[in-house]
């Protein structure tokens, strides 16, 4: 296994200060853009019939602020250390044991990219049917639209991540996405006013989900980005800029998209598909098309981070080469896997990555001591706390669902990680202070 300090392993080597170019605005633009997506709106729409409009919005706002704050904390940790997500995992769990969570991360990133490809494929089919009367629901149509978006992803991965973020996302993509969200929000707020805001606001749920369960589902979305955020934040110039930009950008996008999904579900006929509802809005075709294009950076973000993680395991293959391979794999998976059941997938990810990063933040998020290379192959205490956190998460979901699982598990693993920090790390931190 290549050591963390090895210059041949870009994933496990800190980015030099001279090569860091992201400021506050780049962090905010990137994470606002990554926070926008049809997938987020669909989950927001899913909340309404379960818990009602009022409680759904409470869960959206609270869960977005908490989840985005956790995301920003990891961003700050990655920026200060200069380490990728794989580097943070290696530094916390040891060089050998770290392979397990890194491999799990690669698997979940393939899953997310496959989700995004399915969303883009289905959205493209809906737009072409609405605009031109083309029916691409058959096998040939599904293959054409899936391969089309997969090929675009491969083209993007052949270029520079930094250039994409600074030139396209910040300068072009962000203004178009904001304009689309503003237009759709205006249209559906108008529908809500015509139907009666009070009636919509007081609409009850069917009781199939409690408030804390809904909060877990909202937190699951920013938590799903935890294993990615350091891969971008390590290119930031300051920890404060990474923290503030990531938190503000993602929180606004998450609240807006979840809230728009809640609004669309509240004013639409029962059972109507979210994409169909958006297309029915005036100007919805154009707005949906722009949001669909923005899904590209979500899929790109997943694949780029997955390629960094894969490079950490097999550094002889470049990050770019890994990205192309993962793009082909996710395109193939999108053609064969049923990917429309969201809730179990999201909550399963939370059960793995909430405790994983609770330990990382407890060990590394409070200072610089833990950023020094770790020679041990496994940190037994870190590994046991992580595994105990996974058990706790599922135990709470089964035996105390009213409490929620994410926040108690995070607090449990974070506290234990601080209490069991290696003495050598504490001595280094004291000396550095």
Contact status, residue 143 vs residue 335, Cβ threshold 8 Å: yes
Q: CA 370, CA 373: separation in Å to the nearest integer?
A: 8
Q: CA 34, CA 299: separation in Å to the nearest integer?
A: 9
* Listed range (54-63, 97-106, 159-168, 245-254) with the worst mean pLDDT: 159-168
CB atoms within 10 A of CB 377: 12
Q: How far apart are the first and last CA of the chain?
A: 32
User: Residue 159: its pLDDT value, please?
Assistant: 85
User: Residue 346: its pLDDT value, please?
Assistant: 65
Q: Is 171 a residue whose pLDDT tops 90?
A: no
Q: CA 380, CA 357: separation in Å to the nearest integer?
A: 16
Instruction: Work out the average pLDDT over 340-364.
Output: 82
Contact status, residue 197 vs residue 42, Cβ threshold 8 Å: no
* Residue 240 domain-assigned (yes or no): yes
Environment class of 237 (CB within 10 Å of its CB; exposed 0-12, middle 13-18, buried 19+): middle
User: Residue 340: its pLDDT value, please?
Assistant: 57
Q: Grade residue 317 by pLDDT with cuts at 50, 70 and 90.
A: very high
Contact status, residue 119 vs residue 295, Cβ threshold 8 Å: yes
Name which of 37, 44, 108, 62 is nearest 404 in CA terms. 62
* Residue 67 domain-assigned (yes or no): yes
Instruction: Work out the average pLDDT over 163-177.
Output: 79
Mean pLDDT score of the chain, rounded to an integer? Answer: 86
CA angle, residues 327, 330, 332, in degrees to nearest 5: 110
User: Residue 4: its pLDDT value, please?
Assistant: 45
Instruction: Work out the average pLDDT over 68-77.
Output: 96
Count of domains observed in the chain: 1
What is the share, in percent, of the chain residues with pLDDT greater than 90? 48
Cα–Cα distances (Å) from 333 to 137, 146, 151, 212, 218, in that order, read 17, 10, 14, 33, 26
Q: Grade residue 196 by pLDDT with cuts at 50, 70 and 90.
A: confident
Quote the DSSP letter at residue 317.
Answer: S
Q: H-helix or E-strand containing 383?
A: helix 380-399
Q: Look up the CATH number of the domain holding residue 326.
A: 1.10.4160.10
Q: Is 169 a residue whose pLDDT tops 50?
A: yes
308, HSE (Cβ side, Cα atoms, 13 Å): 26
* Residue 376 domain-assigned (yes or no): no
Instruction: Work out the average pLDDT over 264-285.
Output: 78
Contact status, residue 253 vs residue 36, Cβ threshold 8 Å: yes
Residues 380-432 have pLDDT tens digits of: 999 999 999 999 999 998 898 878 888 999 999 999 999 998 765 544 444 44
User: Residue 343: its pLDDT value, please?
Assistant: 57
Residue of higher predicted confidence among 241 and 217 = 241
Q: Grade residue 329 by pLDDT with cuts at 50, 70 and 90.
A: very high
User: Residue 367: its pLDDT value, please?
Assistant: 64
* Residue 233 domain-assigned (yes or no): yes
Q: Is 190 a residue whose pLDDT tops 80?
A: yes
Residue of higher predicted confidence among 247 and 124 = 247
User: Residue 427: its pLDDT value, please?
Assistant: 43
Name which of 290, 289, 278 is nearest 172 in CA terms. 290
How do the residues of the chain divide into helix, strand and coil, expressed in percent and rounded to 5? 80, 0, 20
Residues 5-41 have pLDDT tens digits of: 444 788 899 999 899 999 999 999 999 999 998 878 8
Most confident of 229-233, 279-283, 368-372: 229-233
Residue of higher predicted confidence among 402 and 63 = 63
Residue range(s) defining the domain that contains residue 276: 22-341
* Model pTM score: 0.88
Environment class of 157 (CB within 10 Å of its CB; exposed 0-12, middle 13-18, buried 19+): buried
Provide the token pair at 295: 């899904």
Q: CA 15, CA 391: separation in Å to the nearest integer?
A: 35
Instruction: Work out the average pLDDT over 328-337.
Output: 91
Provide the token pair at 230: 């350091």
User: Residue 5: its pLDDT value, please?
Assistant: 43
Q: Grade residue 359 by pLDDT with cuts at 50, 70 and 90.
A: very high
* Residue 33 domain-assigned (yes or no): yes
Q: Is 309 a residue whose pLDDT tops 90?
A: yes
Instruction: Work out the average pLDDT over 57-64.
Output: 94
């Amino acid at each position: 296994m290549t050591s963390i300090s090895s210059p041949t392993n870009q994933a496990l080597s800190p980015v030099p200060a001279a090569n860091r170019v992201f400021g506050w605005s780049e962090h905010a633009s990137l994470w606002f853009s990554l926070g926008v997506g049809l997938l987020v709106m669909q989950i927001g729409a899913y909340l309404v019939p379960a818990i009602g409009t009022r409680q759904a919005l409470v869960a959206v706002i609270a869960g977005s602020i908490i989840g985005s704050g956790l995301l920003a904390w990891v961003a700050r940790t990655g920026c200060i250390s200069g380490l990728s997500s794989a580097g943070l995992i290696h530094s916390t769990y040891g060089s050998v044991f770290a392979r397990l969570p890194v491999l799990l991360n690669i698997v979940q990133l393939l899953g997310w990219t496959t989700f995004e490809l399915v969303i883009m494929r289905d959205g493209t089919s809906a737009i072409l049917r609405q605009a031109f009367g083309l029916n691409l629901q058959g096998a040939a149509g599904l293959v054409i639209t899936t391969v089309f978006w997969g090929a675009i992803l491969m083209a993007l991965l052949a270029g520079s991540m930094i250039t994409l973020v600074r030139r396209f996302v910040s300068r072009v993509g962000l203004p178009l996405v904001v304009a689309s969200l503003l237009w759709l929000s205006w249209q559906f707020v108008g529908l809500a006013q015509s139907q009666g805001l009070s009636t919509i606001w007081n609409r009850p749920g069917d009781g199939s989900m409690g408030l804390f369960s809904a909060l877990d589902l909202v937190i699951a979305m920013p938590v799903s980005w935890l294993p990615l955020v350091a891969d971008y934040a390590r290119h930031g110039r300051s920890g404060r800029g990474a923290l503030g930009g990531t938190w503000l950008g993602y929180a606004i996008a998450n609240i807006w998209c979840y809230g728009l999904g809640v609004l669309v579900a509240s004013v639409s006929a029962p059972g109507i598909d979210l994409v169909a509802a958006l297309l029915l809005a005036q100007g919805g075709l154009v707005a949906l098309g722009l949001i669909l294009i923005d899904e590209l950076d979500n899929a790109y973000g997943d694949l780029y981070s997955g390629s960094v993680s894969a490079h950490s395991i097999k550094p002889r293959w470049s990050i770019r080469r890994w990205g192309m391979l993962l793009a082909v794999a996710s395109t193939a998976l999108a053609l064969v896997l049923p990917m429309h059941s969201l809730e179990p997938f999201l909550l399963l990810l939370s059960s793995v990555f909430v405790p994983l990063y609770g330990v990382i933040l407890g060990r590394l998020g409070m200072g610089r001591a833990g950023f020094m290379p770790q020679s041990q192959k496994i940190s037994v205490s870190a590994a046991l706390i992580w595994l105990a956190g996974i058990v706790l998460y599922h135990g709470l979901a089964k035996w105390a669902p009213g409490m929620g699982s994410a926040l108690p598990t995070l607090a449990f693993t974070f506290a234990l990680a601080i209490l069991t920090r290696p003495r050598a790390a504490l001595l280094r931190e004291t000396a550095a202070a």
